């Protein structure tokens, strides 16, 4: 079942029944944006696509001890565009239903958290549960709460206990969700932990894929989701010992760095803004597994080392503590 077909799900039980259905909206949105050459070219294809049966996957995206940076990063996706991801299809023939995402959803208050519970019970074993942020575990999780029931706040830890067991898969988006990250940095006053640790303690065996990064790169997220939708869960050999897909995290930043020529020539930057290999300014490229040198960031306009800024090692379980002081050679 894992990663397999969910089939077309009939959506019902919603509060509002006015205006567009998703398909009407898409048809209309295509027309509304038809002013550009690009869209005109693609209208026939899109129109054909929306008539076909589409596999639909409910998604619960829960922000826990987080800064929202991973959400803000993921919406920077270009292929597919975020419009495709939210409103259309993440892959041709595959739709995500963003049933719960507290920053984007229209609903607020209890109406919003009820939606998450409804999705979990209705689509048992079929929904994708995305966790963005670490889980506060100190004092029974009281350092982080989300909504209340019977006058008592519901902890994020409780939400994980409720939503994790019946998910098809859990995606830990960002280094906080995967390993604790900055939220779990020493002395970690809230006891913030990565979802893998928390599930182990709760004895929940739902598969978890880590997509670390501070923030998570949109391509890493989209690619991991596509892996699950198209081919099911990754095989053990495709995942490294830190639970990440090797296609994104299989080589070090250092091995593919644009500053290798400086290293070979022994040219090291000794102060900010100076050209040279950044090792003496604390670059953690040798200890960091990520494809930033070839993928780059923000539609490929730049990345840390290209801006003469040392790699902080933000995709690693040791970020930030094992990499501190950030600007000193390890």
Partner 1 sequence: MKTQVTVDPLTRIEGHLRVDAMVEDGVVVEAHAGGTLYRGFEQILVGRDPLDAVQLTQRFCGVCPTAHAVASSQCLDNAMGIMPPDNGRTIRNLIQGANYIQSHILHFYHLAALDFVRGPEFPPFIPRYEADYRLPKATSDEIISHYVQALQIRLKAHEMSAVFSGKMPHCASVVPGGVTVTPTVDKVTTFLWRLKELRDFITNVYVPDVLTIAEVYRDYGEIGPGCKNMLSYGAFDLDNEPAVIRRKRFFPMARLQNGKLLSVDPSKITEDVSASWYKSASHLPPASGATLPDPAKPAGYTWLKAPRYDNTVYEVGPLARAAIANASAGNSAHAKLISDSLTQLRMTPDNLNSVMGRHLCRAIETKMVADAMADWVLQIKLEQPVATTFSLPDTAAGYGLWDASRGALGHWISIKNKKIERYQAVVPTTWNASPRDDAGHPGAIEQALIGAPVKDPANPFALARIVRSFDPCIACAIHLLTPSGKLLSQTRVI
Residues whose CB falls within 8 Å of the CB of residue 65, separated by 6 or more in sequence, listed in order: 133, 134, 135, 136, 143, 144, 156, 176, 183, 190, 192
Name the H helices within 151-290: 156-163, 175-179, 195-202, 218-231, 246-249, 260-265
Q: Taking CB under 8 A as the criterion, which residues in 175-234 touch partner 1?
A: 181-183, 185-190, 192, 214-215
6 is catalytic: no
Q: Which is nearer to partner 1, 14 or 121 (CB)?
A: 14
Please select the residue that binds partner 1; options are 39, 158, 206, 306, rule is CB under 8 A: 306
CB of 205 to partner 1, least distance (A): 28
Q: Taking CB under 8 A as the criterion, which residues in 141-180 touch partner 1?
A: 142-148, 151-153, 156
67 is catalytic: yes
* Long-range contacts at 83-89 (CB < 8 A, ≥ 24 apart): 83/29, 85/222, 87/22, 87/25, 87/26, 87/29, 88/26, 88/46, 89/49, 89/54
Q: Which is nearer to partner 1, 82 or 233 (CB)?
A: 82
CB of 238 to partner 1, least distance (A): 26
CB of 243 to partner 1, least distance (A): 21
Name the one range near partner 1 by CB under 8 A: 201-209, 219-227, 234-242, 293-301. 293-301
Please select the residue that binds partner 1; options are 17, 203, 235, 237, rule is CB under 8 A: 17
Asked if 11 touches partner 1 (CB under 8 A), the answer is: yes
Q: 294: which 2 tokens?
A: 């070839």
Q: Taking CB under 8 A as the criterion, which residues in 113-142 touch partner 1?
A: 113, 115, 136, 139, 142
Distances (CA, A) of 94 to 177, 228, 229: 25, 11, 8
Q: Which is nearer to partner 1, 127 or 208 (CB)?
A: 127
Asked if 42 touches partner 1 (CB under 8 A), the answer is: no
Residue 96: φ, ψ to 5°:
-100, 140
Angle formed by the axes of helices 156-163 and 110-122, to 10°? Answer: 20
Asked if 266 touches partner 1 (CB under 8 A), the answer is: no
User: ω before 325 within 30° of 0 (cis)?
Assistant: yes
70 is catalytic: yes
User: ω before 293 within 30° of 0 (cis)?
Assistant: no
How many residues interact with partner 1 (rule CB under 8 A)?
101
Q: Which is nearer to partner 1, 208 or 305 (CB)?
A: 305
User: ω before 320 within 30° of 0 (cis)?
Assistant: yes
176 is catalytic: yes
Q: Which is nearer to partner 1, 228 or 319 (CB)?
A: 319
Asked if 325 touches partner 1 (CB under 8 A), the answer is: yes
Asked if 49 touches partner 1 (CB under 8 A), the answer is: no
Out of 6, 101, 216, 257, which one is annotated catalytic?
257
Produce one character per residue of 245-278: b if its CB has 16 or more CB atoms within 10 Å, e if not. Answer: beebbebbbbeebebeebbeeeebbeeeeeebbb
**Residues with catalytic roles:** 67, 70, 176, 214, 254, 257, 277, 283, 292, 304, 311, 314
């Amino acid at each position: 079942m894992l990663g397999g077909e969910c089939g077309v799900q009939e959506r019902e039980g919603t509060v509002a029944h006015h205006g567009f259905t998703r398909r009407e909206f898409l048809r209309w949105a295509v027309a509304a944006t038809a002013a550009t050459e690009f869209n005109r070219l693609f209208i026939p294809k899109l129109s054909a696509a929306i008539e076909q049966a589409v596999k639909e996957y409910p998604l619960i995206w829960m922000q826990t001890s987080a800064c929202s940076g991973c959400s803000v990063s993921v919406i920077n996706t270009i292929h597919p565009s975020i419009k495709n991801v939210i409103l259309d299809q993440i892959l041709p023939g595959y739709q995500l239903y963003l049933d719960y995402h507290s920053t984007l959803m229209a609903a607020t208050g209890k109406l919003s958290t009820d939606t998450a519970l409804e999705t979990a019970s209705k689509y048992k074993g079929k929904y994708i549960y995305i966790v963005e942020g670490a889980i506060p575990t100190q004092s029974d999780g009281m350092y982080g709460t989300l909504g209340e029931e019977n006058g008592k706040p519901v902890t994020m830890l409780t939400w994980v206990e409720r939503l994790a067991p019946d998910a098809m898969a859990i995606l830990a988006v960002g280094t906080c969700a995967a390993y604790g990250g900055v939220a779990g940095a020493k002395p970690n006053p809230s006891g913030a932990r990565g979802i893998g640790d928390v599930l182990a303690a709760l004895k929940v065996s739902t598969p978890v894929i880590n997509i670390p990064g501070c923030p998570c790169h949109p391509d890493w997220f989209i690619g991991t989701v596509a892996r699950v939708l198209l081919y099911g869960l990754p095989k053990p050999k495709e995942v490294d010992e830190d639970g990440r897909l090797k296609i994104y995290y299989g080589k070090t930043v250092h091995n593919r760095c644009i500053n290798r020529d400086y290293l070979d020539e022994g040219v090291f930057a000794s102060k900010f803004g100076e050209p040279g290999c950044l090792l003496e300014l604390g670059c953690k490229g040798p200890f960091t597994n990520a494809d930033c040198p070839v993928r780059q960031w923000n539609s490929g306009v730049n990345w840390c080392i290209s801006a003469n800024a040392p790699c902080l090692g933000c995709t690693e379980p040791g970020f930030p503590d094992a990499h501190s002081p950030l600007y000193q050679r390890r």
